[in-house]
Amino acid sequence: MAAPENRTEVRGNFTPVPRVLVPASAAKGEIFAVKTLISHPMETGLRKDKSGKIIPRRIINKFICRCNDTVVFSADLHEAVAANPFIEFYLRATESGKLEFEWHEDGGAVFRLEHQLTVA
């Protein structure tokens, strides 16, 4: 498959795709890994397109993880973060419930995923 001729247009119309890897269940007190990835170009606003125009900044600037509506992990992201940011962190299983993941983009777009965790 050939590369797109105008990469700026492709990136301008790009829809980020978030993914998470979390166990479906964990023992009470167990520490488990949470792995997240979002497909995103992370344009810094420092590059120019072929015609010399600045490509506008468009990055994921905040990641939040909540468990049963309580923030359990968050991170502020900046221009130096590579495209397709991967975030790994650890949580302790205390109670069953809903894990919510949010990625906030410049301009106000928010991308969300949810995952049910059963603690036995």
Question: Residue 78: CB partners within 8 Å, gap ≥ 6?
Answer: 59, 61
Query: Does the structure show a pLDDT above 60 at 3?
Result: no
Q: Please answer whether residues 34 and 58 qualify as being in contact, where contact means their C-beta atoms are separated by less than 8 angstroms.
A: no
* 71 residue type, one letter: V
Lowest-pLDDT choice from 42-51, 68-77, 86-95: 42-51
Architecture of the domain made up of 13-119? Sandwich (2.60)
Tell me if 15 sits within 8 A of 65, measured CB to CB.
no
pLDDT mean over 5-17: 55
The mean pLDDT of the chain is: 89
Residue 101 corresponds to which amino acid?
F
